[in-house]
Structure 1
Amino acid sequence: MESKRLWMVVLIAFFLGGWCDGCWEQEKTALLQLNPFFGQIWGVETQSSNCCEWDRVECNNSTGRVMRLFLNHTFTEEVWHDLSYGYYDVTGSHDWYLNASLFLPFEELNSLYLSENSIAGCVYNEELNGLSNLEELYMGNNEVNDFITSKDNETELRLINLEVLDLSENLFNNSILSSLGRLSNLKSLLLEDNNLEGSIDLTVLNALSNLKELFINCRPTEGLRNKACSLLSKSPGVFLPSLKTLFLAGFGFNGTMTTQKLHNFRNLEELILQDSFLQTNFLRNFGELTSLKRLRLYFCEINDSGSLTPPQGFCELTNLQELDISNNNLKGYLPECFSNLTSLERLDLSYNQFYGNISALDSLTNLQELDISNNNLKGYLPECFSNLTSLERLDLSYNQFYGNISALDSLTSLESLFLSSNQISGNIYAFKNLTSLKSLDLSSNQFFGNISAFDSLTSLQMLDIANNYFEIPSSLGPFFNLSKLKYFYADNNTIYAETEMHCLPPTFQLKEIRMASCRNGGSFPQFLYHQQELQIVDLSNVYFKGDQFPNWLLKNNTKLARLFLANSSLSGPFQLPLPSYLGLSYLDISNNFFNGSIPVEIGAQLPSLRFLNMSKKSF
């Protein structure tokens, strides 16, 4: 029966001449009327009679009607100068005003993307309400400040099919909330980075019973402690039974507000509080959010000393899979109640001031990511790490750990390990078992010895061993089988020249290599002759026995953008490859022993050069 109706629609459309060659003629005309407002985006494509094939247009395959328009990020500087008619600011601003009635001919339009177009001012409700089939409306990153009424006195949006509304990064104030109460099918509402301030009344959204995601941030007029926004206390409070994700930024929270309000969010699975003022009694009530799986509190200000002590707070959230309390200046011991969070898969405690015992982590055997970098933790690497065998990412950087790394040798699932800026010492043979590693940062520690233990890490893509006491052969021979290696940093170690030559070329193709200040390098590294994807090379302050400038390095690596060879004992004439090399933007060959003159054609041969240092008697 349905197929019969569809064929009747097709036949009627055909005989009336409205739908031909896959595109409705009135919709094709409407698209061309939009063209001046969106950068003449339909140019060559308009030669096709089927507008469904045009860029940024998607049609219903059955009816040939336009269903989706992707008009985001079309309003550029060039477009502004080409505007010939329509609603735009004649004062010289690049903002313009949207006439939503231009979209009315698209009767089956369900997705409209208008983000990043410098749309300004207000939009009339009745014009938008005419788009009755709209399910997704994206207007983020514009300059719109209100939805207003005109002669029909429509004070609210009545898009009953709308499920996604993105109004982020505009100029709306608190009144925008009262315009949204009739969007009964709305599932996702984004209001970040607008001009909301003071007391925010979210009870006007209580009719949005299907809302699953709500993103709002407020702009406090001064510091968080004194001028943070607040949620207006009204009985019975905010009640959004379907809400799964709540993002609030720039708010102030206290225990009284929490006791009154949090019980209405029992189904919440993700809570994100950013740049907000939190009192410790607020944290004590988090146990009411029994369905919570992801909790993120970052860049917040905690009252008093910033101590994180209440065991009856979020430590009761045994269903938590992700906890991020980074960048809060929290101080003190890690609470023992953390051992209750056995469902955690991701834990971020970075950029705080935790110290002392962290044995509470011992029971978190489901952890896949752990970040405790930038704290005040010190001592030997705790044995509790050896139990966290599910870890794929571990960041212990910028603490005061010392000793060896034996506590980590059982973490065979690790793909990323960051130990930078500690006082860890010893050799590196414990790493031989960590064969899944893709990123390894050991920089600024006290490691020593040769680098042959890395030869088993065949998944490595990035290796940083800068500022240690390693002895590195100039050939990088131990790395020849690391075929996935792209980034190698080894500044401030010791390079030594090998007596034996390597017959085979390396299997890796590096993008970046930094080996500055590594003393005597012997001859210029031969493995570099086999590299063709280099983008950054820094071999400054390495003695290379008077080798000449390696112009072959530029010739072989057409993407090379930065080359540092300062104080490298290079000599002979400074010659550039022919023809011109377009990629290089930064060249430092200062403090060398070149002879002859600076090539007169250097500007033509290096047309992209922005920085050039030839100082300190280079010639």
Structure 2
Amino acid sequence: MALLLLTTGWKMTVVIGHAYLSCGLFHSTYCVVSISLFGKRDVQGVGNKWYPNASLFTHFEELQSLYLVGNNIGGWIMLEVLCELRNLEALYLGGNSLDDGGLPRCLARCGLPSLRVIYLQHNSFNLSAPLLSALCGLRNLRVLDLSHNVLSNGSLPPCMLDTFSSLESLSLWNFTFEQSPNLLTALCGATRNLRKLDLSDSNLNVERIPPCPQQNLSSLANLNLRGTFTKNYSTALLKGLICGWKKLKVLDLRRNGLSDESLPSCLFHNNSMLEELYLSSNNLKGSLGFSIGTTNAVI
């Protein structure tokens, strides 16, 4: 019955996994471990928000992945029951219209201990501090995508600084920083475990980043700064973002209007492990002026 209610009007994918456990309503060794529901927006029209009943998903006790991208979800009925999905590892909610109550508050009380991945990209350009505060209790979160959004009513909630410290991948592509000055401070605190950071096409409306004592100990290997300095170029900001990393392997600086003189020499002197450097669509005319070391690709 739960599957029947969920499939009405949807493009749906259900993955059945094998487990030696009772699976909710089915009492079988075969469990629903992944549900992908998308295209509800296509059915209802862009202007119509959808408010799903979250209790329908609780029938799948072994659910590990819930994909609800592009459904124009504006909120939920019985939202807090999502915290009963104790085995949930990945939650995909991009392409929706979530308001302040778009995530259950029980998350802040470690409601989903297995949750490692959350995607909130393209949330109708609106991320609120109350919405993000629900993430504060997720000490095991490893992947977070907030791309293509604007923080609508102030800075990040301070409690998110602890959440950032556990991240291994953070995507802030096309993210507006104007009203969130403490986000760079949060990034500084996240550098110990962070391996991938995407700031491409973001509006970094600051002159410099705060000092990062952990930068020398960082595991950051992939840094995307494509189009980051198009509107607000700052030599100090550029140096602050690319100098000091010791384990960078991939660096993308495309579409930044950089000149030969604006590339800091620390780019290669401090990054002996750099393997890929992307520099196309800039104003570079002469030689780089320094050795490319072990870099395999300069594109």
TM-score (norm 1): 0.38
Match of 1:104? none
Match of 1:187? 17
Q: Secondary structure at the match of 2:219?
A: coil
Q: Is the 8 A contact 2:246 2:270 kept in 1?
A: yes
Q: Is the 8 A contact 1:240 1:264 kept in 2?
A: no
The aligned amino acid for 2:206 is G
Match of 2:82? 262
Task: Output one character per residue of 1:89-110: Cα deviation in whole Å (capped at 9) or x when no partner.
Answer: xxxxxxxxxxxxxxxxxxxxxx
The answer to whether structure 1 residue 413 and structure 2 residue 251 are counterparts is no
The answer to whether structure 1 residue 296 and structure 2 residue 116 are counterparts is no
Q: Secondary structure at the match of 2:68?
A: strand
Q: Measure how far apart 1:290 and its partner are.
A: 3.2
The answer to whether structure 1 residue 214 and structure 2 residue 35 are counterparts is yes
Q: Measure how far apart 1:381 and its partner are.
A: 4.4
Q: Structure with the greater relative contact order (CA < 8 A, sep ≥ 6): 1 or 2?
A: 2
Q: Is the 8 A contact 2:49 2:74 kept in 1?
A: no
Task: Output one character per residue of 1:256-283: Cα deviation in whole Å (capped at 9) or x when no partner.
Answer: 5312x31221221111123222112113
Q: Secondary structure at the match of 2:78?
A: helix
| 1:94-113 pair list within 5 angstroms | none
The answer to whether structure 1 residue 346 and structure 2 residue 182 are counterparts is no
Match of 1:109? none
| 1:457-468 pair list within 5 angstroms | 458-461=294-297, 463-464=298-299
Q: Is the 8 A contact 1:426 1:446 kept in 2?
A: no
Task: Output one character per residue of 1:393-437: Cα deviation in whole Å (capped at 9) or x when no partner.
Answer: 111232324115443332121111123344666353112221222
Q: Secondary structure at the match of 2:79?
A: helix
| 1:196-211 pair list within 5 angstroms | 206-207=25-26, 210-211=31-32
The aligned amino acid for 1:429 is S
Whole-Å Cα distance in 1 between the matches of residues 97 and 10 of structure 2?
24
Could you say if the C-alpha distance between residues 440 and 384 of structure 1 is closer, same or farther in structure 2, counting changes exceeding 3 Å?
Answer: farther
Q: Secondary structure at the match of 1:362?
A: helix
Task: Output one character per residue of 1:66-100: Cα deviation in whole Å (capped at 9) or x when no partner.
Answer: xxxxxxxxxxxxxxxxxxxxxxxxxxxxxxxxxxx
Match of 1:426? 262
Q: Measure how far apart 1:233 and its partner are.
A: 6.4
The aligned amino acid for 2:98 is L
Task: Output one character per residue of 1:212-266: Cα deviation in whole Å (capped at 9) or x when no partner.
Answer: 22222233234445144x43466x863322111111133314255312x312212
- Regions of 4+ moved over 6 Å: 446-449
Q: Secondary structure at the match of 1:211?
A: strand
Q: Is the 8 A contact 2:32 2:63 kept in 1?
A: yes
Whole-Å Cα distance in 1 between the matches of residues 239 and 87 of structure 2?
43
Could you say if the C-alpha distance between residues 443 and 282 of structure 1 is closer, same or farther in structure 2, counting changes exceeding 3 Å?
Answer: same
Match of 1:371? 198
| 1:313-324 pair list within 5 angstroms | 313-324=134-145
Q: Is the 8 A contact 2:177 2:205 kept in 1?
A: no
Whole-Å Cα distance in 2 between the matches of residues 363 and 352 of structure 1?
19
Q: Is the 8 A contact 2:141 2:166 kept in 1?
A: yes
Q: Secondary structure at the match of 2:37?
A: strand
Whole-Å Cα distance in 2 between the matches of residues 326 and 173 of structure 1?
28
Match of 2:95? 275
Unpaired runs of 5+ in structure 1? 1-171, 189-204, 465-619
Whole-Å Cα distance in 2 between the matches of residues 176 and 345 of structure 1?
33
The answer to whether structure 1 residue 359 and structure 2 residue 185 are counterparts is yes
Could you say if the C-alpha distance between residues 240 and 350 of structure 1 is closer, same or farther in structure 2, counting changes exceeding 3 Å?
Answer: same
Q: Measure how far apart 1:454 and its partner are.
A: 3.3
The aligned amino acid for 1:298 is Q
Q: Is the 8 A contact 1:266 1:290 kept in 2?
A: yes
Match of 2:48? 226
The answer to whether structure 1 residue 241 and structure 2 residue 61 are counterparts is yes
The aligned amino acid for 2:205 is K
Whole-Å Cα distance in 2 between the matches of residues 413 and 401 of structure 1?
25
Q: Is the 8 A contact 1:269 1:292 kept in 2?
A: yes
Match of 1:393? 222
Whole-Å Cα distance in 1 between the matches of residues 134 and 187 of structure 2?
17
Q: Is the 8 A contact 2:168 2:194 kept in 1?
A: yes
Q: Secondary structure at the match of 1:271?
A: strand
Q: Is the 8 A contact 1:351 1:375 kept in 2?
A: yes
Task: Output one character per residue of 1:429-454: Cα deviation in whole Å (capped at 9) or x when no partner.
Answer: 11222122222134556778742313
Could you say if the C-alpha distance between residues 451 and 359 of structure 1 is closer, same or farther in structure 2, counting changes exceeding 3 Å?
Answer: same
Match of 2:147? 326
The aligned amino acid for 2:162 is N
Whole-Å Cα distance in 2 between the matches of residues 222 and 213 of structure 1?
24
Whole-Å Cα distance in 1 between the matches of residues 173 and 119 of structure 2?
12
The aligned amino acid for 1:392 is A
Unpaired runs of 5+ in structure 2? 1-5, 19-23
Q: Secondary structure at the match of 2:48?
A: helix
Q: Secondary structure at the match of 1:298?
A: coil
1:403 to 231, 235, 239: 235
Answer with 1 or 2: which has the greater Rg.
Answer: 1
Could you say if the C-alpha distance between residues 233 and 215 of structure 1 is closer, same or farther in structure 2, counting changes exceeding 3 Å?
Answer: closer
**What is the percentage of aligned positions where both structures have the same residue?**
26
The aligned amino acid for 1:460 is N
Match of 1:548? none
Whole-Å Cα distance in 1 between the matches of residues 203 and 10 of structure 2?
45
Q: Is the 8 A contact 1:339 1:360 kept in 2?
A: yes
Q: Is the 8 A contact 1:344 1:367 kept in 2?
A: yes
TM-score (norm 2): 0.73
Could you say if the C-alpha distance between residues 385 and 224 of structure 1 is closer, same or farther in structure 2, counting changes exceeding 3 Å?
Answer: farther
Could you say if the C-alpha distance between residues 423 and 174 of structure 1 is closer, same or farther in structure 2, counting changes exceeding 3 Å?
Answer: same
